[in-house]
Structure formats: C-alpha cells, structure tokens
Amino acid sequence: VTLDVQAICQDTTLTQELLKEGFHRDLLVKVELGVVGEDVGGCAVAARTFLPPGVYVDPYELASLQQHNLTKAVLIPDVIDVEAPEYLATDLLVLLYMEPDRRCSRCFRAALPVHGRYHRPAEDSEEALIVLKSPEVLVCCCDNRLSTECWKSAEVEAPCSGKNISPCQWYSVRHKPTYEELVLQVPVGLRQHSSLVCVVTLLATVLCSSLILAAVCKYGHFS
C-alpha cells in the first residue's frame, strides 16, 4: 500500500509568467498534477493567489471575459477601486479556475489580466518592483473518487465549477513552483521631475481652457 501511495503522491509542478509589457499584463499560470495512474478528467483545478496592493484585477474586464467563457475567477473582495494608487490599495485574493490543457492529460492552464497601480514617485529608479508569490494549487474532484492521500483539505468557500452553486470540498496540493516569486516591473516617475511635470500640466491646462473659451465665444449662441 505504501508503494502505491508514493507512486500517486508525486510533486505537482506550477509555473507562472507575465505576458506583455507595462501596466497591463496577463498572468499565465500552468499546473501539471503529480497524479500517476488515475483519471483527473472530472476534477477542477484552481490557483489561489494573493495579489499585493501594487497590482489589481479589473472586475468589469473580468466579467466580460467570463461572459465569453475566456476566464473564470472569483475575486475577494469583489468590489475593487481600480483608480486607487498603490499606497491606498489593499491585497486582493483571487481564485483562478483553470482549464485542461489538450497537450497533456494531467495539465491545466489559465490566464488572468492584471494591471499595475500608480506608485509614488521614486528617488533614483524609474521602475517599481511588485513581487507576486507562487499561488496555492487547489483540486476539487466532485465527479469521481480520486485518491487524496497526499492532499490536505483546504478551507475554501467556493464551488468546484460554474455548474455547482453550493461550495464543495477543495484539497490543497503540494507543488513545486518553478520560481517561488515572480517580479512585475511597473514604470514610476522621478521626484526630481515633479516641478517640470507641474509646470507642463499647468501650461497644458491653460492652453486647452483658452482654446475652449475662444471656440465658445466664436461659435456659441448666447440669447
């Protein structure tokens, strides 16, 4: 019996990477379950990750993607201030549901659009570094009796999939992340440029206001 359990309880591997550049990125997560000799086709796999204040998920964008079955995720909290800067924001918990990868019977993947928040101006660096830690891998096998000797119960109040309304039993899977942390680089301003930015902003505001006022005086109809 011990040999059978060891054969099943191989380490799950997880990789995550950031696509695109700048403030608007895609977080790609891939999982390969370390389960040998069993069918995982009836299981749901999710990545439970905490996003720091420097990055957020747009709930309106996510709702649009979910409507077209492109991404499925649960945000906690579900009300997010997308305009808040990094120093006024809070952590965000995301439960990202993953889809089976056709190229591998035990592989799952999902992509989540994430956005960097504005940071305070820096002294000597034009980039802020945001650390994204490796997520927790969760498995829910609601449709079959997959062995769970090497998994531990996870306290997650969420359905296994969109078909189930009530929460079901999730298990936390031991995994080996390719990298413990992923670093997101976000452009920031320099403090020594503050005076220049203020002057240019003021001049642009005065110029635009003057053009609007001139247009109103020339083409406006006043009774």
According to DSSP, the residues that pair with 177 across neighbouring strands are 14
Rounded-to-integer distance, Cα 52 and Cα 133, Å? 9
pLDDT tens profile 117-129: 988 887 777 788 8
pLDDT of 117: 93
pLDDT tens profile 14-28: 899 999 988 899 999
pLDDT of 208: 92
pLDDT of 5: 41
pLDDT tens profile 137-190: 888 876 555 555 667 777 777 777 655 566 778 888 877 776 778 888 888 866
Rounded-to-integer distance, Cα 91 and Cα 89, Å? 7
3-state secondary structure of 96: strand
- Cite the beta strand spans of 55-154 per DSSP E: 55-56, 73-76, 92-100, 107-116, 127-133, 136-140, 152-154
pTM, two decimal places: 0.77
Q: String of b and e for 159-190 (b: at least 16 CB within 10 Å)? A: bbeeeeeeeeebbbbebebeeeebebbbebee
Q: Domain limits of the chain?
A: 13-189, 190-222
Rounded-to-integer distance, Cα 113 and Cα 22, Å? 12
- Comparing 64-78, 97-111, 120-134, 177-191, which segment has the lowest mean pLDDT? 177-191
pLDDT of 141: 76
Please state, in angstroms and as integers, the Cα–Cα distance from residue 200 to each residue in 93, 192, 203, following that order: 39, 14, 5
- What value does the mean pLDDT of the chain take? 81
